Amino acid sequence: MVFASGSTGEPSGGGFRISGRLIIALVIAAFSIIGYLSSTEYNPITQQKQHVDISPQQEITLGLQSAPQMANQFGGMSRNATMQAEVSEIGNSLVSKTEVGTTPYKFDFHLLADQKTINAFALPGGQVFITEGLLKLLNTRGEVACTLAHEVGHVVARHSAQQIAKQQLSQGLTGAAVLATYDPNDPSTQNNAAVAALIAQVVSLKFGRQDELEADKLGVRFAAKAGYDPRSMIKVMQILEKVSRSRTPEFFSTHPNPQHRIERIQEAIDQEFPGGVPDGLTP
C-alpha cells in the first residue's frame, strides 16, 4: 500500500493511495477515542463508572470561577434576604442529611434576582442557583427542596465533568471528520463538515436529557432522606407544565419537558419506596 500526501484516495496504478489528510484525521480520531475511554472513574453516588478527565477540585474551581458571570446573566444575586435564607437552609439540609455531605464538593445555594426568568441550574463543584421567577411559583418547602435536590444530583453525578469529556471527544471526532471529508478544491464538501458538526450537537443533547432524568432520580432520593416529600417533585413539574401554556420557561432550554418526566419521577419514587412514601415528610 502506498501512502501519498495530497492524493484523493482513489486507486492509482497497482495500489490504493490514501491522502495524508485522511491519515491525520484517523490519528486525531484515534487519540480522541482512546483519551475518552481511558479517563474512567467510579462514582459511589451513582454506583457507575464514568468517563471524566477533571478532578473534583477542578470542578469546584471551575464552578467558583463561573459563578459571578452566570449570576450577572440573571440580574445578579437577589436582595431578598428572607428568601435567600430559606433557599440556603433547604439546600444545606439536602447536603447535611444525605450522602451528598460525604462528597468533596462545596455547595452554595444562590437566589438570583431575575423575576421573569423561570430556571434553576447548577455549576460543576456545587454552585446551585434558582431564580426568583421560579421560586415564587413554588408553593411549599418540599417543592423548593425537590428543585434544589435535582440540581444537587447534577453536581454529585458529575454531569458537567462528563459533558466536558464528551465535548472533547465530539470536537476531536468532528475535527477528524471535517479534515477527512473537506476538500478546499470542492465547495460541496463543506456540507459534509456541517453535517459532522450537527451530529456532534445532537449527541450532546441526547446525553443531556439522560443526565436530567438521572438527576430527577437522585433528587427523589436526596429530598426524601432530608425529610421532604419526593412527590413534591411531581408538583413542580405540573407547575412548569401549566406555565408553559402561556409562555416557554427558560427551564425548558436545559431540562426535558415535564410531560416526559412525571412518569419517570413516579417510577423513581415507587422504586425508592416500594411500600409507599412514609408519613411525616414535609410536603
Per-residue confidence of the chain (283 residues) as pLDDT tens digits?
A: 333 334 444 454 555 566 666 666 566 556 556 654 556 889 999 999 997 878 999 889 888 888 998 899 999 999 999 999 999 999 999 999 999 999 999 999 999 999 999 999 999 899 999 999 999 999 999 999 999 999 999 999 999 888 877 666 555 444 544 445 555 556 555 555 554 544 444 333 343 778 889 999 999 999 999 999 999 999 999 999 898 887 767 776 666 666 678 999 999 999 999 999 999 999 9
Please give the grid coordinates belonging to residue 187.
465547495
CA nearest 281: which of 220, 216, 212?
Answer: 220
Q: Are strands 108-112 and 120-123 parallel, antiparallel or unpaired?
A: unpaired
Query: Strand (E) positions, the chain?
Result: 11-12, 15-16, 40-43, 48-51, 108-112, 120-123, 127-131
Q: Which amino acid is at 92?
A: N
pLDDT of residue 25: 57
Sorted by where each begins, the domain ranges of the chain are 20-41+162-206, 52-158+208-272
Q: Length of the chain, please?
A: 283
CA dihedral 12, 16, 21, 22 (to 10 degrees): 150
Q: At what angle do helices 159-181 and 141-156 cross, to 10 degrees?
A: 50
Question: What is this structure's pTM?
Answer: 0.76
